[in-house]
Structure 1
Amino acid sequence: MNQHTPISCHQQATPDRRQTLPLPLLEAGLILTWSSGFVGARFSLDYAPPLLVVFWRCVVVTLILFPFVARPLRQTSLAVLLKNAGIGLLAMAGYLAGVVQGIALGVPAGLAALFADLLPMGMALLAAVVLGQRMVWQVWAGLVIGLIGVVLVTHGALGWGNAPLWAYGLPLLGMLSLAVATLWQKHLPASQSLGLLPNLWLQCAVSSVAFAVVEGAQGSLMPIANTGFALSVLWTVGLSTLGGYGLYWICLRRATATRVASVLYLSPPVTMLWAWAMFDEPLSWQMIAGMAVSGIGIWLVVRSEGRQTSRQN
C-alpha cells in the first residue's frame, strides 16, 4: 500500500448528469444544505421535541421516495440491503441522535456543534489507526488549521452547560458514527453500492424505526398540529435530508472522504449566517476571521490531495 495514499473510493461513479457539475459547486451546495440542519433544529425547538421532528423527517422522506425506489430495491439482494442499512443507521440515526439528544439533555448547542465539526479529524484518525492509511503532513496541517478556524467561529457560543457528564460524549459519538459510516461507504465495492435515491430511502427507513423506538419510549409519536412543527419537518426534509445528505453522498463519490469532510469546516460560519438572516443573531469579525482560517485549511487539504492524485496518475 502506498503510505501516502489519501482516503479514496474503491468504486467509480456511473457517468450521469451529476458528473457535469463542477465538484466545487456541489461542495458549495453541500455546505449550504448541511448547515440548514442546525438551523432547522434551532427553529424546531420552539414547537416540538427534537427527536420527534427527526422521526417525522425520516418518515416523510421514506414516503416521498418510495415510488421512485421500489423497483431497484426489489432487485437488490438482502445482503446488500443489510450492509447499506447498517451504513444508514450509523450515518443518519447515530449522528443525528448523538447531536440532537446531547443538546436535548443540556449540552450547549455551540459545544455540540464543535464536537460534530471534529468529523474531518475523527475520520482521518480512524483511517490511520483502523485502516492503516497515511496522509502527507500538508493534509494534516490543513485539517488542524481548519479546526482552529472552527474554534474561532464557535468560541463565543461555547459553554459547559448543566448536562450530565456522560451527555457530553453523545455529540462526539454521533460524529464518530458518521465517520465510520463514511469510511464504510467509501470502501464498499461498487457491486454492493445502491444508487443515490435507494440509498437515501433505506437510510431514512431504518433511521425512522430507530427514532420511533427512542422517541416512542419517551412519549407519543403523533405529529403536533401546528404550523411550526410542519415547517420544521418540511425544512429538514427538503434542505437537510434530500439536500444535505444527498449532496454528501454525491460529493463522496466524486472526491476523497478527507476532502468532503474538510469542506464541512465551513458549516459553522454558514450556520451563523443562516441564524443572522432568520433569527437576527449577531455576527462578529471573529466569525469572519475563523471562516477565513478554515478556508485556508480546506485549501491546503484540497491542494495536497490534488497533487497526490496527479502523482498517482
Structure 2
Amino acid sequence: MTTPPSTEQRSPTTTSWVVAGLSAAFIIAWSSGFIGSRLGTQTSTTLNLLSWRLVVLCPVAVIILSVTTKPKPNTSRRMPAGWKQQVLVGLLTQVISTWGAVAAIEYGVGVGTAAVIAALQPMITGAFASLVLKESVKKQEWLGLGVGLVGVALAVSGDLGAGMAPWWAYLLPFFGMLALVAATLIEARRPSQRPIAERLSIQVLVGAIVFGAVAVFTGQFVGPHLSESLFWMTVAWYVVFSITGGYTLYWVVLRRTSATRVGALIYLTPPTAAVWAWLMFGDTLNGITVIGFAVVALGVGLVFLHSSRTANTDVEQTRGKAPVG
C-alpha cells in the first residue's frame, strides 16, 4: 500500500499551481471592494454602508465562535489564546484600513490618487518584512515591486491629482495602508493557530462594534427599507466577495507565501477593479491604462518568478540531503 505524499514531499509544481489559484481568487475578491464602494455610495452614506456590511455578519460570527470555542470543564473564563491578536488585527483591517480608503474618497481625494497611495503597501511591507520578519527580500523582488508601483501610477495617471480635498485628507489612505501593513506583519510574525473562520469572526465583530457605535453616535446608522434592493445587493456583495472572500484569501495566501509576495499581489487589484468597472458600468479603458496593466503584471511576475526559482532550489537541496532507501 502506498501512503499519500506529505506536505514536505509534495511536488513544487503542484504547490505553485495551488498558490497561483489562490492568488488569482484573492486578486478578484480583493478588487471587488472598489466596485462595492461605487455601488453602495449611490444609496447610502459611507459610514452607514460600512456598518451594515459587518452588522449582518454578526449572527454568523457569534455562531462560529460558539462552536469553535466551547469552554472546557473546570477552566476559567479567560479570553481564549490568540483572541487579543485578532482583536488588534480586526481594528487594523476592518476599521482603520477600510475607513481610511473610503473616507479619503468621500472627502475629495481622487480615486487614482488614493489607489497610488494604497499601492505603496508592497514597498513598505517589503521593507519592514526584511527588518521585522527577517525575510530575505532579493534585488529582483525589489525591482519587481518598483516596476509594479510604476505600473499602478500609469494605470491611474488620468485620475492623479483629481479632486478638491484638504491636505489632511491625503493622510487617510496613507494611514489605512499602514494599518494593513501592520496587520500583515503581525500575522506573519506570529501565525495564529486558530481556525480562519474563528479569526475572521472576531475581526468582523470588532469592526461591527466600532463602526456601529460611531454610526449610532453620529445619527448615520439608518436601517434601509427592505425594498431598497441596490443597497442590500451592495451589502451582500461586500459580505460574499470583499469580507468572506477577500480577507479569508488574504490570510491564506499570506500563510502559503510571504508578506512581501502577498503585498505584491495588491498591485493587481486596481487593474482588476478597472476591468470590473468596464464590464459592469461601461467605463472606458484607454491605451495608457492598458500599458499600466502590463507593467503591473511584469512587476508582479518578477517577484513571483524569483520566489518560484528559490522554492525549486530549496526542494532540490532538500532532496540531495535526504537519505536514500
Q: Shorter-chain TM-score category?
A: 0.7 to 0.9
- Conservation of the 8 A alpha-carbon contact between 2:57 and 2:239: yes
- 5+ long unaligned stretches in structure 1: 1-11
Q: State the SS of the aligned residue for 1:47.
A: coil
Q: State the SS of the aligned residue for 2:82.
A: helix
Give the aligned partner of residue 24 of structure 2: 28
Aligned identity (percent) is 35
Aligned pair partner of 1:50 in 46, 53, 76: 46
Within 5 A, what are the aligned runs for 1:136-215? 136-189=138-191, 192-215=192-215
Residue 268 of structure 1 pairs with residue 270 of structure 2: yes
Q: CA deviation at 1:135?
A: 1.4
Normalising by structure 1, report the TM-score: 0.87
Give the aligned partner of residue 285 of structure 1: 287
Q: State the SS of the aligned residue for 2:56.
A: helix
Which region of structure 1 is more displaced relative to structure 2, 279-288 or 139-148? 279-288
Q: Distance in 2 between matches of 1:112 and 1:73?
A: 39
- 5+ long unaligned stretches in structure 2: 1-6, 72-77, 316-325
Give the aligned partner of residue 126 of structure 2: 124
- Conservation of the 8 A alpha-carbon contact between 1:91 and 1:182: no
Aligned pair partner of 2:110 in 97, 108, 111: 108
Give the aligned partner of residue 5 of structure 1: none
Q: CA deviation at 1:272?
A: 0.7
Q: CA deviation at 1:128?
A: 3.8
Q: Distance in 2 between matches of 1:51 and 1:92?
A: 13
Give the aligned partner of residue 37 of structure 1: 33
Normalising by structure 2, report the TM-score: 0.84
Distance verdict in 2 for CA 1:22–1:64, change over 3 Å: same
Distance verdict in 2 for CA 1:21–1:67, change over 3 Å: farther
Q: State the SS of the aligned residue for 1:22.
A: helix
- Conservation of the 8 A alpha-carbon contact between 1:122 and 1:175: no
Q: Distance in 2 between matches of 1:159 and 1:94?
A: 23
Q: Deviating runs (4+, > 6 A) in structure 1? A: none
- Conservation of the 8 A alpha-carbon contact between 1:85 and 1:202: yes
Q: Distance in 1 between matches of 2:131 and 2:258?
A: 18
Q: Distance in 2 between matches of 1:23 and 1:50?
A: 34
Q: CA deviation at 1:160?
A: 4.3
Q: Distance in 2 between matches of 1:37 and 1:261?
A: 17
1:224-247 deviation digits (Å, cap 9, x = unpaired): 222221111111111111111111
Q: CA deviation at 1:256?
A: 0.9
Give the aligned partner of residue 74 of structure 2: none
Q: Distance in 1 between matches of 2:179 and 2:236?
A: 25
- Conservation of the 8 A alpha-carbon contact between 1:65 and 1:201: yes
Residue 59 of structure 1 pairs with residue 55 of structure 2: yes
Within 5 A, what are the aligned runs for 1:238-253? 238-253=240-255
Supply the AA of the counterpart residue of 1:182.
Answer: T
Q: Distance in 2 between matches of 1:224 and 1:159?
A: 34
- Conservation of the 8 A alpha-carbon contact between 1:153 and 1:288: yes
How many residues get paired?
295
- Conservation of the 8 A alpha-carbon contact between 1:62 and 1:204: yes
Q: CA deviation at 1:158?
A: 1.8
